Amino acid sequence: MTTSLNNLQPRRTFCGQMAGGIGAIAMASLLDQDGCLGDEPAGSGILHAPHVPARAKRCIHVFSPGGVSQVDTFDHKPALETLDGKRLMGKGEIDTFFGKIGVLRKSFYRFKQHGQSGSWVSSLMPHLATCADDLTYFHTLVSRSSSHTPACFQMNTGFTQVGFPSVGSWLSYGLGTLNNELPTFVVLPDPRGLPNGGTSNWSQGFLPAQHQGTAFSTDGKGESIANLKTPTSVSATGRRASLELLSKFNKSFAQANPGNDELQARVRSYELAARMQSSIPDVVDFSSETQATRQLYGLDDKDLAPTASNYLLARRLVERGVRFVQVFNGGALGSPRINWDAHEDLVRNHGNQARHLDQPCAALLKDLKQRGLLDDTLVVWSSEFGRTPFTQGDKGKGRDHHPLVFTGWMAGAGLRPGFHHGVSDEVGYRPAENPVTVYDFHATLLHLLGIDHTRLTYYHNGLARRLTDVHGHVVHDVLA
C-alpha cells in the first residue's frame, strides 16, 4: 500500500494545481490523508442489501450533550414530591461524579399527561409534548461512563475510547448512499459550540475515510462547507478541461493498477465534491420554504433561528437522500460553555437549552410527518447520560451526572408510537425493569435500518470490529 500511495505523489502535485475548484473538502483534505483508506468490502457508494427487512431508509439523530435530567423531562416520578428534601435510602452505595450528595429534589417542572397515550411530559418541553403520541420512549438507558467525553463517545461510536467509527460512518459503510449529489453522512454542529470530544464524535475511525461525517458550518459565517466554491480565478471552461484531463489520468492509472481501492475511493470523493458545488447551495437555500414552515421551526425568532435552522436543514437533507444526519443540540468547546450540564442551576441551564431543542425538534417531527417522510425515516433523541434525582449538595439547585438510568426516545418508521419501554425505580435512580444499554439502543437503531448489528463488521487489528462490540440485543418490544 505504501508503494502505490507514493507513486501517486507526482500526480497529487499536478492535480492540486489543476483542480483547485473542487475545494479542500475534496482535494486538499483527502490528499493530506495518505494511508487512511483501507480495503473496502462494503460501503462503496452503492446501496447494499439489508440483513433484515428495513423499516427505515434514513435516520436523524438529535444529540443533546451534557446530561439531560430524566426526572425533569420525560420520566415522571410522583414519589419525589413526597420525598423532596429527604436522603436517598436503600439503594446501596450511591454513585456520583463529584461526590457532593445532596437531598432528593422533586422535579423543577410540572408534569402533565399528553395525547391518547397519556404520556407524561414536563412543562419544560411544551412543543414536544404535542408530539407525545409519535414518540417511543426508552426510560431505562444505561451508560458505561459518568464522564462527559467517554459517555459522548459511547453514545456516538459505541465505545468510550477515541478512535472508533461513529454510527453514521457505520451506516455509510454498511448501506452506502441514497444519492449521488450529497454526502451520505452529514453533521450539523450547534452554532454555539462543539460537544465534548469535538469532531471525534463523527469520525470514521478505522473505516475508509470516505465514511467520515461531513460537518457543515452552521454559525452563519462563510460557506456551508469550507473551500467548496470554485475560485473566481478559475473559469468554467478551464475547470471542465482540468477535470476531464484529471479523469483521463485516473482511468489510465486504474488500468495500470487494477484493484487499487484507494484511488477509486478518492476519485469518488472528488466527483462527489464537484457535484456538491451545485447541490449544496440548493439544500441550504430556504427561500422556497413557506412562512408557515419558517414559523413552525422558529426561524423568525432572532435568538432561536441559528440553532433552529439545523432542524429544517436536516429535513431538507433527508428528503434529498442523505442517509444519516446528526444534529447537535448544545456544545462544550469554546466560549461560552453551552450544554445541558446542570450542576449549579438546573432551571437556568435546562431552560436555556430546551429553548433550542423543544420547538425546532417538535417542528422537525411534525414537518416530516405531514410530508410522509416519517413513514420511512427514523428520528432518535438522546443525551450521553442523565442526572441524579438528588441535588448536588444539600442546598444545591442543580443535579450531578447520572449514567445509571436516563431517558431517550425514537420516532418514526417501524416503531410503536406512544409506547414506553422500561421503568425506572420510584425516584429515577436505577432501572426497575428492562434496562437498555447503549449497545441495545444501537442494535435497535441498526435493526430498524435493516442491519443485523452482529453482521456489520470491519476487520481491524486482528478483530472483526462492530458498532456494538461483543454486546447488544435488539429491543423487540418497541417494534411495530
**Distance between CA 424 and CA 439 in Å, rounded?**
18
Whether residue 14 is predicted with pLDDT greater than 60 in this model: the reply is no
pLDDT tens, 256-277?
877 665 666 666 666 666 676 7
Please state, in angstroms and rounded to a whole number, the distance separating the CA atoms of residues 191 and 306: 7
Answer yes or no: are the C-beta atoms of 467 and 167 closer than 8 Å: yes
Q: Using CA atoms, how far apart are residues 140 and 128, in angstroms rounded to an integer?
A: 20
pLDDT digit string, tens, across residues 185-198: 999 999 998 999 99
User: Is a pLDDT exceeding 60 seen at residue 303?
Assistant: yes
Q: Is the pLDDT at 342 greater than 70, yes or no?
A: yes
Helix (H) or strand (E) run with residue 456 in it: none
Which residues make Cβ contacts (< 8 Å) with residue 291, sequence separation at least 6? none
Task: Tell me the CA end-to-end span of the chain in Å, nearest whole number.
Answer: 47
Omega before residue 336 within 30° of 0, cis: yes
Supply φ then ψ for residue 359, to 5 degrees. Answer: -65, -50
- Which of 103-107, 212-216, 246-250 shows the highest mean pLDDT? 103-107
**pLDDT digits over 214-243, tens only?**
998 877 666 766 656 666 666 767 777 877
DSSP string spanning 226-290? TT-SPPTTS-HHHHHHHHHHHHHHHHHHHHHSTT-HHHHHHHHHHHHHHHHHHHHHHHT--TTS-
Question: pLDDT tens digits for 365-422?
Answer: 999 999 999 999 999 999 999 999 999 999 999 999 999 999 999 999 999 999 999 9
Read off the pLDDT of each residue in 302-331 and give the average, rounded to a whole number: 96
Please state, in angstroms and rounded to a whole number, the distance separating the CA atoms of residues 69 and 167: 24
Give the residue with greater pLDDT, 224 vs 106: 106
Res. 13: pLDDT tops 50:
no
**Beta-carbon neighbour count of residue 346 at 10 Å?**
24
Q: What percent of the chain has pLDDT over 90?
A: 68
Q: DSSP label at 211?
A: G
Average pLDDT score over residue span 38-55:
61
Q: What is the C-alpha separation between 267 and 22, in angstroms, rounded?
A: 12
Residue 115 has pLDDT above 80, yes or no: yes
pLDDT for 8 equals: 40
**Mean pLDDT, the chain, whole residue set:** 86
Sign of CA dihedral 282, 283, 285, 286: positive
Angle between helices 167-175 and 438-448 (to 10 degrees): 30
Amino acid present at 390: F
Looking at residue 29, its pLDDT comes to 37
Q: Are strands 135-142 and 436-437 parallel, antiparallel or unpaired?
A: parallel
pTM score of the predicted model: 0.86
Q: What does the alpha-carbon distance between residue 344 and residue 347 come to, in Å, rounded to a whole number?
A: 9
Query: What was the pLDDT predicted at 380?
Result: 98
The domains found in the chain, sorted by start residue, are 1-34+235-283 (no CATH), 45-224+287-478 (3.40.720.10)
Closest to 142 in 3D by CA, of 389, 384, 470: 384
- 241: which 3 cell numbers? 478541461
Sort residue 105 into left (φ over 0), alpha (ψ -120 to 50) or beta.
Answer: beta
